[in-house]
Amino acid sequence: MQEEINTMTTMQETKELFRRADAVCFDVDSTVIREEGIDELAKFCGVGDAVREMTRKAMGGSMTFKKALTERLSIIRCSREQVNKLITDHPPQLTPGIKELVDRLHKRNIKVFLISGGFRCIVEHVASQLNIPLHHVYANRFKFYFNGEYAGFDETQPTAESGGKGKVISMLKEQYGFETVVMIGDGATDLEACPPANAFIGFGGNVVRAQVKERSSWYVTSFDELLKELEKI
């Protein structure tokens, strides 16, 4: 019982921190959008099964994030043209309720950021649909040769490393002087960003990851739950 009470308190604290946040940071794949961008890109380039298997292994945690990303991209080897065509032909599908939630946060003058281990060209497309300024997007960048062929990715981006989301949040706190930052996401890399985030909200609306659900003091399966919380003010 004692343990339950502690969890309850923590859930109340998380809700309170969310209501008075200066900034809210969202993961993108399987949180803001319904799919995993890298798996969609692989499918589009005809190597879906091989990459999905590797994603599964990477989630098992025996490989660093950067190594897993490098290996998956070396199988995909997408050209600039393929990436652009994917965005045009199969634009990322927004998760129901995200647009309303971001609009509400903006109306309340809460800054919204997208922090993703995915790729900037896809995440920028999502940001523009949600009226999130592009300088509030932190994601990885593809590199292409002048003829448009795949040339790797920018390994200097913080999001290319394990623990990168936390690094971005520390940087945002320093740059903007935010007191309270909340991270929302479906995956282990999102959970690990707290701290430096002051609170973490687990999101299971597209995919439920057991270890994230177990370790979240507040776990939601719909963005409506977060909207309702904001209405309490």
Positions marked active-site: 27, 29
- Residue 158, preceding bond cis, omega within 30 degrees? no
Which ranges in 35-113 belong to alpha helices (H)?
37-44, 48-59, 65-76, 80-89, 98-107
What contacts 166, CB < 8 A, 6 or more positions away? 192, 193, 194, 195, 196, 197
> Helix (H, G, I), strand (E, B), or coil: what is residue 115?
strand
What contacts 200, CB < 8 A, 6 or more positions away? 14, 182, 183, 184, 185, 190, 191, 193, 194, 216, 217
- Residue 133, preceding bond cis, omega within 30 degrees? no
Q: Phi first, then psi: what are they for 117, rounded to 5°?
A: -85, 0
Pairing label, strands 150-153, 142-144: antiparallel
**184 bridge partner residues:** 26, 201
Alpha-carbon gap, residue 153 to 74, rounded angstroms: 10
